[in-house]
Amino acid sequence: MKQHIAHITLLVTDYDDAIKFYTEKLEFTLIEDTVLSESKRWVLIRPKGATECCLLLAKAANEIQSSRLGNQTGGRVFLFLYTDNFWRDHHRMLTRGINFVRPPSEEDYGTVAVFEDLYGNLWDLIEPRT
Give per-residue pLDDT as tens, 69-98.
999 999 999 999 999 999 999 999 999 999
pLDDT at 59 over 90: yes
What CATH number matches the domain at 70-130, 3.40.50.300, 3.40.50.970, 3.40.50.2020, 3.10.180.10? 3.10.180.10
- Determine the CATH number of domain 1-69: 3.10.180.10
Query: How far, in Å, CA of 79 to CA of 13, rounded?
Result: 18
Give the H/E segment covering residue 48: none
Mapped onto helix, strand or coil, the DSSP state of residue 110 is: strand
Instruction: Give the pairing type, strands 54-59 and 41-46.
Output: antiparallel
Instruction: Give the pairing type, strands 77-82 and 54-59.
Output: unpaired
Q: Where are the domains of the chain?
A: 1-69, 70-130
- Global model pTM greater than 0.85: yes
pLDDT at 130 over 90: no
